[in-house]
Amino acid sequence: MANAIPETIRGRRTSRLPGRGELSERKLLVALLAPSLLLIFGLTIYPLLYSLWISLHRHSLLFPARPFIGLDNYRRILEQPLFWDSVWVTLYFAVASLVIQIPLGIGIALLLNEPFRGRGFLRAAVLVPWAIPTTVNAVMWQWIYDSNYGALNGLLKQLGLIEAYVIWLADAARALNLVLVADTWKVLPLYILMFLAGLQSIPRDLYEAAAIDGAGPWRRLLDVTLPGLKPILLVVLILRTVQVFKVFDIIYLLTRGGPGGGTTVISFFTYQQTFQALNFGVGAAVGAVIGLSTMLAALLHFKLLHSEEERA
Amino acid sequence: MRATLERGWAVSGARGRRRVGAARRGGRGRKRARSALIYVLAVVVAVETLAPFAWMVISSISTQAELISVPPHWIPEEPTLATYTALLSGSAINYRGTGEVSAPIAAFGRALLNSFIIAAATTILCLVLGTLAAFAFARLRFRFKSSLYFLILAVQMIPSISLVVPLYLLLQRLNLLDSYLGMTLVYSTFTVAFVIWVMAGYLLSIPRELEDAARIDGCTRFQSLWQIVLPLTTPGLIATGALAFLTAWNEFLFALLFTNTLSAKTLPVVISEFSTQFSLEYGLMMTGGVLASLPPVLLAIAFQRHILAGLTAGGVKG
């Protein structure tokens, strides 16, 4: 399981068998670890610190000078209503997607955990949305939502649910919800698969014991299934929180943050500040804040799971 | 939402009930009703999952005239592969009678190649470096190991958007913008962390007695890793390899910002250009989408067991 940090990782066991022509332990360690660590730290930790440095300067591609300006970039961000709008949009996106995707994910996982003919096919089919590129997902939904020839308009009109074709992405709130639908189609499979793995790790005896004790279906769901899914639930929660900051591709292609900034999530805001306004200082400031806070959240989360395991 | 849960639950209770309840009540009718419900739900899920993708495939083989018909032609009357030949050969398609080859069409073949090279290079680099590091985490003792391990996990969580500015400036200074090497290195940072995590788990599940035996027989550490341990971790290597390829193949943000010519532009970038440059030609866009989806979808289905195991072992990358 994702959160299981095996005993040996903590470095309690080690072998001290001698061998001929061996590198010393220390040299071996360096040889094994150095390339990966160099790559990871060189291209994530260092850039993150570097962006903190940039964020303290006026760094715009429109001006050659890069004076030190302290926390001015941060102040400018916090003063921008657009920034706060993007925070709310992101927050809405995060909460709404969790509320929709977790119950749906658990429900479909419960279904896929039942024996029925065609289950293998369905389990494979679920991989399709997960595997396709996010950009492809975006253009696919762009075509489905198309106001003149799109499948959504066509279907609803044929079913008699709408009188005339609708311009789906013209209204801010509706556009955001439709982006959410498109995103859910793509990410739901991952949660289904993770919950399915969680379900399979719950011992069957628990269900049988509960049934013998006279627990009805609801009681078994509440007392056996959901507690059994708790570790996975925590992983999915943190995963989704982190992923919301990564929602970019679909916004970039489907709505360009519009209409009227209604779908400008924080990553798209950062992109606009950086590569449209060419203000690298401000972009770096938002980026650094997002990056550091996610890392902090992740570390806290791991520590939490870790200590929980030790108690268990 | 509530309805979904309840329905889902009715399904899950089935197992226990079938054993205990069936004996007690012998409810044959209820059993049948439950299995009917399962099938109905299964069909709903199958349609929800596959219909959008199927519509993309259908659109890709429809003529332009049928694409812009109202109401839509759900099943094309004259299916055609014209858009496929246009994209793969980079030649003109006569929609508007201009005979001009638009930029994304001309770029498609090259972008396909770029995507393959960058994704393959990332996969190989990450598997090699990541497995070595995983070996250190699984088998050696050193200071700060636990903290380092956590840090590597946390690094994976950093959203790309917060690295965009510094990485852009860094790549610019190293002259690596718009190059295979630059893209491969950038993609490798996240993936190598993932490989370390999953492979360390795999290595720990292999009894070290095997290695010890090999080393008593005179193998060096590297030999025992290469000849004894590695073959046993093949499922893990396949899973992480497939996931690494998929992640690199699908990545968009870095590719959008760090490449600007055909020398390194990847498929997702070219697909995004379709959508912004001439929004009417959905047929070409859908064909591009199908072609770009084929490698990851086939990979996912071919290695589904391994990938599921890898995903749940790693549990991080989406």
- Looking at CATH, the fold of the domain delimited by B103-314 is given as MetI-like fold (1.10.3720)
pLDDT band at B308 (very low <50, low <70, confident <90, very high): confident
Does residue A15 belong to any structural domain of this protein? no
Tokens 């929660």 -> residue: A237
Tokens 């946390």 -> residue: B154
pLDDT for B183: 95
CB A261 within 8 A of CB B177: no
pLDDT for B67: 84
Does residue A186 belong to any structural domain of this protein? yes
A277 phi, psi to nearest 5 deg: -85, -10
Q: Looking at residue B101, what DSSP letter applies? A: P
Tokens 């996990």 -> residue: B153
Is the per-residue pLDDT at A26 higher than 60? yes
CB A83 within 8 A of CB A277: no
Angle between helices A46-55 and B164-173 (to 10 degrees): 100
Q: What mean pLDDT is predicted for residues B191-208?
A: 85
pLDDT for A310: 58
The lowest-confidence range among A63-67, A121-125, A251-255, B187-191 is A63-67
| Nearest CB to A9; choose among B146, B163, B170 | B146
Question: Which phi-psi region, left, alpha or beta, contains residue B8 (left: φ > 0; alpha: ψ -120 to 50)?
Answer: alpha
CB A168 within 8 A of CB A174: yes
The closest alpha carbon to B156, from B123, B125, B193, B122, belongs to B193
CB B34 within 8 A of CB B11: yes
**How distant is the Cα of A50 from the closest Cα of chain B, in angstroms?**
6
Is B70 or B122 the better-scoring residue by pLDDT? B122
Q: What is the per-residue pLDDT across A184-229, written as a single tens digit (0 to 9) for each?
A: 999 999 889 888 888 888 888 888 888 888 887 788 888 888 888 8
- Chain B residues touching residue A98 (CB < 8 angstroms): none
CB B259 within 8 A of CB B183: yes
pLDDT for A20: 47
pLDDT band at A305 (very low <50, low <70, confident <90, very high): low
Q: Looking at residue A275, what DSSP letter applies? A: I
pLDDT for A9: 53
Chain A window 180-239: which residues touch B at a Cβ cutoff of 8 Å?
A: 185, 187, 189-190, 193-194, 197, 199, 204, 207-208, 210-212, 216-218, 220-221, 225, 235, 238-239
- Tell me the C-alpha distance between A103 and A100, whole Å: 6
Q: What mean pLDDT is predicted for residues B169-179?
A: 93
Yes or no, beta carbons of A39 and B129 under 8 Å apart:
yes
pLDDT band at B55 (very low <50, low <70, confident <90, very high): very high
pLDDT band at B198 (very low <50, low <70, confident <90, very high): confident
Is the per-residue pLDDT at B123 higher than 90? yes
Preferred mutation among A97, A132, A159, A255 to probe B, highest tally of B CBs within 10 A:
A132
pLDDT band at A11 (very low <50, low <70, confident <90, very high): very low
Does residue A12 belong to any structural domain of this protein? no
Does residue A158 belong to any structural domain of this protein? yes
Count how many residues are written for chain A.
Answer: 312
Structure tokens at B67: 């694409």
- Tell me the C-alpha distance between A278 and A274, whole Å: 5
Task: Count structural domains, chain A.
Answer: 1
pLDDT for A260: 81
Structure tokens at B109: 């073949």
What is the CA A261 to chain-centroid distance, rounded? 22
In the A/B pair of chains, how many CB contacts fall below 8 A? 398
Does residue A40 belong to any structural domain of this protein? no
Q: What mean pLDDT is predicted for residues B89-117?
A: 75
pLDDT for B292: 94
pLDDT for A115: 87
**What average pLDDT does chain B have?**
82
pLDDT band at A307 (very low <50, low <70, confident <90, very high): low
- Tell me the C-alpha distance between A285 and A308, whole Å: 35
Q: What mean pLDDT is predicted for residues B273-277?
A: 73
**How distant is the Cα of A253 from the closest Cα of chain B, in angstroms?**
7
Is any Cβ of chain B less than 8 angstroms from the Cβ of A143?
Answer: yes
| Nearest CB to B4; choose among A11, A107, A291 | A107
Q: Provide the CATH number for the domain around residue A210.
A: 1.10.3720.10
pLDDT for B11: 41
Can you give the residue ranges of every domain in chain B? 1-49, 103-314
Is B295 or B211 the better-scoring residue by pLDDT? B295
pLDDT for B296: 95
Is the per-residue pLDDT at B12 higher than 70? no
Let me know the angle formed at the C-alpha of A28 by A27 and A33, rounded to the nearest 5 degrees. 100
CB A144 within 8 A of CB B52: yes
Residue ranges making up the domain that contains A228 = 45-53+69-311
Question: What amino acid occupies position B169?
Answer: L
| Nearest CB to A29; choose among B11, B136, B318 | B136
Does residue A107 belong to any structural domain of this protein? yes
pLDDT for B13: 44
State ipTM: 0.84
The lowest-confidence range among A122-131, A146-155, B62-71, B130-139 is B62-71
Q: What is the per-residue pLDDT across A94-147, written as a single tens digit (0 to 9) for each?
A: 899 989 999 999 999 999 988 888 888 998 999 999 999 999 999 999 999 988
Chain B window 55-84: which residues touch A at a Cβ cutoff of 8 Å?
A: 55-56, 59, 67-72
Does residue A300 belong to any structural domain of this protein? yes
Is the per-residue pLDDT at B57 higher than 90? yes
pLDDT for A276: 85
Is any Cβ of chain A less than 8 angstroms from the Cβ of B119?
Answer: no
| Nearest CB to A111; choose among B41, B129, B164 | B41
Structure tokens at B143: 């200071």
Angle between helices B282-302 and B82-89 (to 10 degrees): 80
Does residue A26 belong to any structural domain of this protein? no
